[in-house]
Amino acid sequence: MGADAVAETYLGIAAATAGRSIPVVRAALAMSITLIGEQHGLRGAALLAWIDSIAETARKAAGTPTDVRRRTRPEH
């Protein structure tokens, strides 16, 4: 799935969740992106890497500092 398709998915979810709380929107986005990745055969570490790449691209597009992930993501 290309970046345009992912962006289209995000926009559709944003429209469908308009007026909802931020946690609801985040949950909807996380679930849909996970399902899209799984539909394309991604599992485990490959799925997480793909999701991270989408998140990094979204942060760059939004102008969010890239170190946010390191500050907010729990250590494993």
pLDDT of residue 76 exceeding 50? no
Its pTM surpasses 0.75: no
SS3 category, 18: coil
Domain of residue 46, residue span: 3-71
Flag whether 76 is in a domain: no
Flag whether 12 is in a domain: yes
The overall average pLDDT reported for the chain is 79
**For residues 29-50, average pLDDT:** 88
Question: Could you read off the pLDDT of 2-35 as tens digits, one per residue?
Answer: 677 777 877 888 788 889 988 888 888 888 888 8
How many Cα neighbours within 13 Å face the side chain of 49?
5
Flag whether 11 is in a domain: yes
Flag whether 46 is in a domain: yes
Flag whether 31 is in a domain: yes
Sign of CA dihedral 8, 36, 1, 71: positive
Q: Is 37 exposed, middle or buried (0-12, 13-18, 19+ CB in 10 A)?
A: buried
